[in-house]
Structure 1
Amino acid sequence: MADLLSDIQFNEFRKLIYDASGITFSETNRSILDSRLKERLREKNLTDPQEYYRLITSDKEEFKVFLDSITTNLTRFFRNQPHFDALINYVIPHVIEDKKQTIGDFKIRIWSAGCSTGEEPYTLAMLLKDKLPAPYTFEIIASDISLKSLMTAQKGFYPDSRISGIPQNYLASYFTRVEGGYQIKPELMKTIRFDYHNLRFDMGARNFDIVFCRNVLIYFDEAAQKITIDNFWKSMARHSYLFIGHSESLFGMDTKFEFLKTPWACLYQKNEK
């Protein structure tokens, strides 16, 4: 089957996408861009890719919809359990110990970057609700470049097919059974603030104790990865922890983060004097 885009058009689209989001399209995943673009052309009753290119370069809202369509949003609750084991058994105790040095600071601040449809931040919230000792509390900011995914996350409704992996006691405590699936209870939903954010730019928020950004860097080239990691460094507290995907690594990158191997999982830490 012939490609929808000529080589020149493909380069135009992928440069536009890269400049805006850091997401890289190469010949190996060109077919994904091709299929998503066909969907948008049908939706807008267009046949010429160049006409759609002109549209997204002049219409910011349509460009956001287009970025939504090309973003891969594969996620699930309790994905990669060893990360959560490391969080509860190693990271949280160390964060609490560090906070004892600051009088009156009992809040643990977490950023779930590239949160997709919300399974990761809700998993974090359930664990912290269950495991975090008094008087400590937490707040989670969850961000993504996909508005469609964020809308799903904010609703907090998940069909039966999406709740596999959730322990039964958590399902009973934090979800309400409704027609067609499960609704997350308000007490858990209010611990998370969902926000649109492009990881190529500084979020502006500071002093995160923990950042989760898993299976996002793999879509970036080295330059975009470096920008993202530097932005994380700026956003994090002096002593803090970074989780990335198990297939991702900061090896070979010029970064101040230190590699940390725990009995449960590997992650990275910021230790600033």
Structure 2
Amino acid sequence: MSQEKTAIEKLLTQKMGWEMPKVSDRHLRKAIAMRQKACQLNELSSYLKRLQTSPEELQNLVEQIVIRETWFFRHREAFSLLRHHVNTDWLPHNPYKKLRVLSIPCSTGEEPYSIAITLLDTPLKPQQFHIDGMDISQEALIKAKQGIYGNNSFRSHDWVEHDKFFYPVKDGSQICQEVRHQVTFTQKNLFSVWLPTLPSYQIIFCRHLLIYLDTNARNRALETLERLLCEGGLLFVGAVETTLIKSPSLRFVAHPSAFAYQKILNTPDIKQKILQTSEKPQIRFKSPLSQPIIAQKSKMDYKISTLETAQKLANQGQLEEATQECQRHLQRSPIDASAYLLLGEIYQAQGQIEQAQRYFQKAIYLKPNDREALLHLALLRESQGDIKGAAVLKNRIQRLENDGD
């Protein structure tokens, strides 16, 4: 590795907090080459000097490096938990307060707009909540403010309310003004000096960032997030990032696939309850349950009921019982990919990463095009430092999206 490239990586780490070895070397080299060409600088040493003296060019390089892998209602269960929390926990105790939500990094806007759509589906009135979307990328924020999205932003095939919140335009679908009005976009990141001085938030989404940060930057980021989060508030992180949360003030919420933590109340005589839900939507098993199956009715009923029972137990925080129910189900249906996927999510929620990976692999073996299992496994491998393995899985997911599978 050249000294110039090492120096560039250090500049990027200072700017973004990222641990650069977690970024594909090919991706980094391509980004540097593109900016060198744009600056008409043939020598890497000359480009390094430009970066050291030009904050604008450093930002231009950041724009080429940031990862914008996002879509509407990514990890849908997070939004199910958000809706439940607002309806049953926050709103009854705060009927006249304004709910403040932070999405950071917000990328091209799919996440904060998904939050807005979710909250518009609660008893909250539009004036009772607001969302701050923050990102380091100016290009991403421009797209977010425009609110125009192509097919790649809509990957939740069971979302039936698209037409309610979007209208067709030349380049895709544009989100309606009612939703856009609920979100303010700002170019900042977790290391902005003034960020910790902001008023606290009841809800924070910070997903798929922590895994890219080096240890020092991650610790600073977590300190900032915890400071910004209200007591009793929810912090949503990425799937594999649950292994990075160590603070005693943040308690894991036992809702598979939501990947959320609740800040414990700092009141001596009140024990903070772990969020339980009885009205959460169940995970929508796509295959084989959603496909016609030629089988005896009693066997089909058993298949559905056991998975539904396992899901309900997991949603209630009874993870051991949910695991046992899944295992009983697999004794009757040993090639059901959905059961292996649920087991992987349960073990991941418990921080048992090796077992989670094993079950995700089994789900993929039985159903090679299962996007959820592929994404879970990709993120887990990435968190374990297997960057090449994660990249292979992400490429598979991208091919599936391109093929429209």
TM normalised by structure 2 equals 0.61
Could you tell me which of 198, 219, 239 is aligned with 2:232? 239
Could you tell me which of 180, 196, 211 is aligned with 1:189? 180
Aligned to 1:37: 32
Q: Is 1:80 matched up with 2:71? A: no
Cα shift readout 1:4-52 (whole Å, capped 9, x = no counterpart): xx43222211111111110111287322211110111111221111211
1:167–1:130 CA distance, 2 compared to 1 (3 A): farther
How far, CA to CA, are the matches of 2:169 and 2:245 in structure 1? 48
Q: Is 1:248 matched up with 2:241? A: yes
How far, CA to CA, are the matches of 1:72 and 1:33 in structure 2? 11
Cα shift readout 1:140-159 (whole Å, capped 9, x = no counterpart): 00011111111100100112
Give the aligned length.
264
Could you tell me which of 194, 208, 213 is aligned with 1:215? 208
1:89–1:184 CA distance, 2 compared to 1 (3 A): same
Q: Secondary structure at the match of 1:51?
A: helix
Task: Measure how far apart 1:97 and its partner are.
Answer: 3.7
Worse-matched range after superposition: 148-157 or 11-20: 11-20
Q: Is contact 1:210-1:236 (8 Å) kept? A: yes
Aligned residue type for 2:103:
S
How far, CA to CA, are the matches of 1:135 and 1:191 in structure 2? 7
Compare the two structures and name the one with the higher helix fraction.
2
Task: Measure how far apart 1:188 and its partner are.
Answer: 1.1
Worse-matched range after superposition: 14-23 or 28-37: 28-37
Q: Is contact 1:78-1:166 (8 Å) kept? A: no
Q: Is contact 2:148-2:172 (8 Å) kept? A: yes
How far, CA to CA, are the matches of 2:26 and 2:82 in structure 1? 37
% identical aligned pairs = 26
Aligned residue type for 2:15:
A
Q: Is contact 2:101-2:132 (8 Å) kept? A: yes
Worse-matched range after superposition: 20-29 or 78-87: 20-29
Could you tell me which of 100, 111, 116 is aligned with 2:107? 116
Could you tell me which of 43, 46, 51 is aligned with 1:48? 43
1:97–1:229 CA distance, 2 compared to 1 (3 A): farther
Aligned-CA RMSD value: 2.2
Aligned to 1:3: none
Runs of 4 or more, structure 1, over 6 Å off, are none
How far, CA to CA, are the matches of 2:245 and 2:172 in structure 1? 44
Q: Is 1:151 matched up with 2:151? A: no
How far, CA to CA, are the matches of 2:245 and 2:126 in structure 1? 40
Q: Secondary structure at the match of 1:228?
A: helix
Aligned residue type for 1:43:
A
Task: Measure how far apart 1:123 and its partner are.
Answer: 0.7
Alignment of 1:253-268 (within 5 A): 253-254=246-247, 256-262=249-255, 265-268=258-261
Q: Is contact 2:110-2:153 (8 Å) kept? A: no
Q: Is contact 1:125-1:188 (8 Å) kept? A: yes
How far, CA to CA, are the matches of 2:209 and 2:38 in structure 1? 27
How far, CA to CA, are the matches of 2:234 and 2:191 in structure 1? 20
1:46–1:140 CA distance, 2 compared to 1 (3 A): same
Q: Greater CA radius of gyration, 1 or 2?
A: 2
Cα shift readout 1:43-86 (whole Å, capped 9, x = no counterpart): 12211112111112211122111111111110011111111111
How far, CA to CA, are the matches of 1:46 and 1:54 in structure 2? 10
How far, CA to CA, are the matches of 1:65 and 1:170 in structure 2? 37
How far, CA to CA, are the matches of 1:11 and 1:161 in structure 2? 34
How far, CA to CA, are the matches of 2:138 and 2:205 in structure 1? 19
Cα shift readout 1:115-174 (whole Å, capped 9, x = no counterpart): 111100111111111223459721000011111111100100112443342766532221
How far, CA to CA, are the matches of 2:20 and 2:160 in structure 1? 42
- Any stretches of 5+ residues in structure 2 without a counterpart? 267-405
Task: Measure how far apart 1:234 and its partner are.
Answer: 1.5
Aligned to 2:153: 162
How far, CA to CA, are the matches of 2:245 and 2:118 in structure 1? 33
Worse-matched range after superposition: 51-60 or 74-83: 51-60
Q: Is 1:63 matched up with 2:95? A: no
How far, CA to CA, are the matches of 1:83 and 1:27 in structure 2? 25
